[in-house]
Chain A
Amino acid sequence: MHIPDGFLSAAAVGTTYVISAGGVANAVRVARGKIGEKHIPLMGILAAFVFAAQMLNFPIAGGTSGHIIGAALVAILLGPWAAVIIMSVVLIAQSFIFQDGGLLALGANIFNMGIIASFGSYYLYRLINSLLGNNRRGKLVAGFVAAWGSVLLASIACALELALSGVSPMAVVLPAMGGVYALIGIGEGFITIAVLSMVMSTRADLLKLQRI
């Protein structure tokens, strides 16, 4: 879902850069307010964790494989603003190191996979968790829907940006991308609940961390 350079119009590049810069600046302010200067080493190392976790491929269907984005996992464990910081650091490094996602498209990519995916999944998780009750089953179902939703919401944002940039009509790109990523998101959901249930049974205290 990383948008390369060349797809977005100047207006889309400018708008998403402004929104993402504001979002990341606020995320840093919130993190500093809540855990002080500790956020720098902790978020930096957890960004390296997301980067390494994205290197693990798992089978999807028909011989294809995929990897997780990780925004939902981090948002559920550490809170949405922490996820915004971690994902934007990961995306900046991916753009520079692997050219995965363009330099001018960085604002849009941080907006989709950082801000939209983090906040979308965090609130989906909270909502479903409170509906189903705060037990193991409630947490796992909420985790699955949140992770699936984070991928779907990010892809919808991506499709809207492409459509508004005039590269593809809305009626085509929105259902096509949404449909494809609704399927891909199932993998993200399963991995996320596998991680959550593992953390729950070995270090349940990590699920009660202060959310940022």
Chain B
Amino acid sequence: MKHSFIDRYSDRDSLIHRLDPRSKLVMTLAFIAAIVLTPAGSWLVYSLYFVIIATMVLLSKVPISYILRQSLVIIPFVLLVAVFIPFFKEGDVAFGFNIWAWHLSFTHNGLQLLWSILAKSWLSILSLILLTSTTGFASLLKGLERLRMPRVMVMLLSFMYRYIFLLTDEIMRMKQARDSRNLGGKRLRQISTVGNMIGTLFIRSYERGERVYAAMVSRGFDGQSRTLDRLRFSPLDIYFIACISLVLVCINLFNLYW
């Protein structure tokens, strides 16, 4: 089983790991909201946010190389959405060129917006990575539940989390079997092989779902989940929430009046 691709490093011990998942969730959300609402081109504010995240990363003892690598994996997907931004914004033209029949021009305003959005996305991604690499998925779910996320969603997510490993293993085994038979041929043939694999996985998953439900009912499942709840706020959480909120308020006041 390949466990390590989900919530890696979340079982370590540090000041950040010891925080209650609720305070981490709420503060991450507030932090990302502050990042997103910062106007375009406030580079000083962005760098202050970066300093805060960097401090947290150092405190959390999660390897910096891991966090950077994880954030760079996502950047191509961000760029995929961002490519649609810098064309045809009003303003001075920075540079333009002709592709085939189209004339594309990049304006200073458009580019400024593009860089700001990329910076904001990257900062938000860093804070999310910090959250998930310091909080195990199970305690994250417990935190979400206590923050009034509907119980059904929490149960669905915890079921999914339980079976991700199993089903990923299953598809990886099928992939290995396929590759060892030297998959080749035309593209349509390859696509139909992938279709067969997904179809097989669907049938197995559906049957597994029925078996799991039967096993649960025979043990008295009635649609509720009962778990021990050991979440507790500590003084550490109060310091953490107070510090981050104070810093966020200061940065935003500074940004408004300067």
Spell out A's residues near B (CB within 8 Å): 1-8, 10, 13, 24-25, 28, 32, 36-38, 40-49, 51-53, 55-56, 58-59, 68, 73, 77, 85, 88-90, 92-93, 95-100, 102-104, 158-159, 162, 167-169, 171-173, 176-177, 187, 190-199, 202-203, 206
* Known A41-B213, A58-B190, A199-B199; 6 more pairs at CB < 8 Å: A6-B36, A32-B223, A48-B161, A51-B167, A172-B88, A198-B199
What per-residue 1/0 map shows which CB atoms of B127-166 lie under 8 Å from chain A? 0110110000100100000000010110111111111101
Tell me whether A97 and B6 are in contact (CB under 8 A): yes
Cβ distance B202 to chain A, nearest Cβ, rounded Å = 6
Known contacts being A6-B120, A37-B222, is A104 close to B199, with CB within 8 Å?
A: no
List 27 contacting pairs A-B, 8 Å CB cutoff, sorted by A.
Answer: A4-B125, A6-B123, A32-B223, A41-B212, A44-B162, A48-B161, A49-B167, A51-B160, A52-B164, A52-B168, A53-B171, A53-B202, A55-B171, A56-B171, A56-B198, A92-B157, A93-B164, A96-B131, A99-B70, A99-B129, A102-B128, A172-B84, A176-B84, A194-B192, A195-B202, A198-B199, A199-B203
Tell whether B231 is near chain A: CB-to-CB under 8 Å: no
Tell me whether A5 and B164 are in contact (CB under 8 A): no
For the residues of A in contact with B, the DSSP-based class is: helix
Tell whether B177 is near chain A: CB-to-CB under 8 Å: no
What per-residue 1/0 map shows which CB atoms of B189-204 lie under 8 Å from chain A? 0111011111111110
Spell out B's residues near A (CB within 8 Å): 6-7, 28-29, 32-33, 35-37, 70-71, 73-74, 77-78, 81-82, 84-85, 87-89, 113, 117-121, 123-125, 128-129, 131-132, 137, 140, 150, 152-153, 155-164, 166-168, 170-171, 175, 187-188, 190-192, 194-203, 205-206, 208-210, 212-213, 216, 221-223
